[in-house]
């Protein structure tokens, strides 16, 4: 009987959580054109199903394509888009830390966004940016 009670409570939580994830996904979709204009491409999408579902996306760009000074203007112009503003602020912070470290030869920037409860944004720098196009497949002919 206790298990059924716990299961019912979990179901009660999952409904509002799914609605929240859906709203976050709408915000993420609205943020994509801005991120693409900054030079980012979506390299990976993952959907995790569990008690609380999560959607994760990986965006990658070359570090020299990002105009850090323009981020403030974008944050002000898009202030109603909470997910986008969070990503842009995280990007600003990451670039500030990177500038303090000096030139380490890091040519790519990667943003990992997890839309869940709570949402999570991670920024990393890469030695080489991941190519946005895959190499063509070579086939052997007989």
Q: What percent of the chain has pLDDT over 70?
A: 75
Angle between helices 82-101 and 68-77 (to 10 degrees): 160
Does the structure show a pLDDT above 50 at 83? yes
Asked whether residue 45 is domain-assigned, the answer is yes
Asked whether residue 141 is domain-assigned, the answer is no
Phi/psi at 11 (nearest 5 deg)? -65, -40
Round the average pLDDT of the chain to a whole number and report it: 78
Asked whether residue 83 is domain-assigned, the answer is yes
Find the domain containing 28 and state its range: 2-126
Query: How many domains does the chain divide into?
Result: 1
Asked whether residue 136 is domain-assigned, the answer is no
Asked whether residue 134 is domain-assigned, the answer is no
Asked whether residue 39 is domain-assigned, the answer is yes
Question: What's this model's pTM, rounded to 2 decimal places?
Answer: 0.71
Measured CA distances, 23 to 16, 52, 72, 135, 137 (Å): 11, 14, 25, 35, 38
Q: How confident is the model at residue 139 (pLDDT cuts 50, 70, 90)?
A: very low
Report the alpha-carbon distance of residue 68 to residue 78 in Å, rounded: 16
């Amino acid at each position: 009987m206790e298990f059924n009670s716990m299961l019912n409570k979990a179901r009660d939580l999952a409904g509002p959580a799914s609605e929240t994830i859906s709203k976050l996904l709408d915000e993420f979709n609205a943020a994509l054109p801005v991120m693409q204009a900054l030079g980012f491409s979506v390299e990976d999408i993952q959907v995790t199903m569990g008690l609380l579902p999560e959607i994760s996306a990986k965006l990658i760009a070359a570090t020299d394509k990002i105009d850090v000074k323009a981020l403030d203007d974008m944050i002000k112009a898009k202030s109603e888009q909470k997910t986008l503003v969070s990503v842009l602020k995280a990007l600003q912070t990451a670039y500030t830390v990177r500038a303090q470290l000096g030139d380490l030869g890091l040519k790519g920037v990667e943003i990992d966004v997890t839309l869940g409860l709570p949402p999570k944004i991670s920024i990393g720098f890469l030695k080489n940016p991941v190519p946005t196009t895959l190499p063509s497949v070579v086939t052997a002919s007989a």
